[in-house]
């Protein structure tokens, strides 16, 4: 007799950066067929050797493969029909917001409105220095960049006059398919990131806290949103590398108020397709 799978309401996305670039299209088609809800790609642009924070050295190195996320997600949009396409996360203070908004709007139009914008400030000072970008004000710039992009996405003749960015009434077409624009999921667990999530975000992209810690943060975030009269947040967390489906853990996260788990269910990139199929089978997708 087969194992009985208890159905849960959790959405499952895939941490897609570790997939070999030449296998991305084929594997994405498989992932959609077996029931995954979304694909997520992180970002690093240029990390000098010696510049990787100690806490990240077990996850990636300066010479790890990092595709440009919006280009890669456009590639995946062409071979999928339903899955959401998100960044996990885009370090947007390294960019100009108008150029970035154009990339995101283009992807949202070409994908039929499937983009989720996971954003963060990043934690690699050496990367900012190599790109000629200021590190110490990256949080303040991120706040203003979100406002810039929302203005471009929603206003018929957008203009903006802020501390860091300024432009006159301008044309910005086409608008994203999603109205008033793709959702912003704010990454991070610092006090500043949680404040940004409550005030400026549509969701929280919260790393890998255990269910008990997640429940505490989610309750705080949703409570603060309610007091501000804002809609509830979409909650997304990331599980560890090479972790298969865990029914009890999934139920615990669901009880904590988590809506989506981004998973990496393979031990090496060569085994991504098999890991995706096995996870879907075990989870009853």
pLDDT per position as a tens digit, 163-212: 999 999 999 999 999 999 999 999 999 999 999 999 999 999 998 899 99
Full-model pTM: 0.93
State the pLDDT confidence band at 3, using cuts at 50, 70 and 90.
Answer: very low
DSSP H helical ranges for 81-190:
97-110, 125-130, 138-154
How far is the C-alpha of 86 from the C-alpha of 40, rounded, in Å? 5
Q: Which residue has the tokens 């409550």?
A: 198
Cα-based angle 40, 253, 249 (whole degrees, multiple of 5): 95
State the pLDDT confidence band at 45, using cuts at 50, 70 and 90.
Answer: confident
Bridge partners (DSSP) of residue 84 are 38
Predicted confidence at residue 49, as pLDDT, reads 79
Q: Is the predicted pLDDT of residue 235 greater than 90, yes or no?
A: yes
How far is the C-alpha of 109 from the C-alpha of 255, rounded, in Å? 35
In a domain, 186, yes or no: yes
In a domain, 228, yes or no: yes
In a domain, 28, yes or no: yes
Predicted confidence at residue 269, as pLDDT, reads 86
How far is the C-alpha of 267 from the C-alpha of 283, rounded, in Å? 18
State the pLDDT confidence band at 48, using cuts at 50, 70 and 90.
Answer: confident
State the pLDDT confidence band at 53, using cuts at 50, 70 and 90.
Answer: low
**Domain total in the chain:** 1
Q: Which residue has the tokens 């992807």?
A: 107
How far is the C-alpha of 219 from the C-alpha of 198, rounded, in Å? 12
In a domain, 40, yes or no: yes
In a domain, 70, yes or no: yes
Q: Is the predicted pLDDT of residue 2 greater than 50, yes or no?
A: no
Predicted confidence at residue 168, as pLDDT, reads 98
Q: Which domain holds residue 273?
A: 11-283
Those residues with Cβ within 8 angstroms of residue 106's Cβ, 6 or more apart along the chain or in another chain: 70, 74
Tokens of 29: 């088609």
The domain that holds 212 is classified in CATH as: 3.20.20.30
In a domain, 266, yes or no: yes
Residue 183 is given by DSSP the state P
In a domain, 5, yes or no: no
How far is the C-alpha of 279 from the C-alpha of 17, rounded, in Å? 18
Mean pLDDT of the chain: 92
Q: Is the predicted pLDDT of residue 59 greater than 70, yes or no?
A: no
State the pLDDT confidence band at 272, using cuts at 50, 70 and 90.
Answer: very high
Q: Can you spell out the DSSP letters for 76-88?
A: HHTT-SS-EEEES
Tokens of 99: 């150029």
């Amino acid at each position: 007799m087969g194992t009985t799978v208890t159905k849960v309401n959790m959405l499952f996305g895939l941490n897609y950066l570790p997939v070999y670039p030449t296998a991305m299209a084929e594997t994405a088609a498989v992932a959609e067929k077996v029931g995954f809800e979304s694909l997520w790609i992180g970002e690093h642009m240029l990390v000098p050797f010696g510049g990787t924070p100690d806490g990240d050295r077990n996850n990636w190195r300066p010479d790890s493969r990092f595709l440009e996320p919006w280009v890669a997600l456009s590639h995946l949009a062409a071979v999928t029909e339903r899955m959401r396409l998100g960044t996990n996360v885009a370090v947007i203070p390294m960019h100009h917001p108008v150029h970035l908004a154009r990339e995101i709007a283009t992807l949202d139009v070409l994908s039929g409105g499937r983009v989720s914008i996971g954003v963060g400030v990043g934690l690699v000072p050496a990367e900012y220095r190599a790109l000629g970008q200021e590190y110490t004000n990256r949080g303040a710039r991120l706040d203003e960049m979100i406002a810039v992009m929302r203005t471009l996405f929603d206003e018929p003749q957008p203009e903006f006059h802020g501390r860091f960015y300024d432009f006159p009434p301008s044309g910005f077409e086409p608008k994203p398919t999603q109205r008033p624009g793709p959702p912003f999921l704010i990454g991070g667990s610092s006090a500043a990131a949680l404040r940004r999530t409550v005030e400026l975000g549509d969701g929280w992209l919260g790393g890998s806290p255990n269910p008990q810690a997640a429940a505490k943060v989610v309750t705080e975030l949703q409570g603060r949103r309610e007091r501000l009269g804002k809609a509830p947040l979409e909650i997304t967390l990331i599980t560890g590398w090479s972790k298969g489906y865990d029914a009890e853990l999934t139920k615990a996260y669901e009880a904590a108020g988590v809506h989506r788990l981004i998973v990496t269910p393979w031990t090496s990139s060569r085994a991504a397709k098999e890991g995706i199929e096995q996870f879907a089978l075990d989870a009853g997708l």
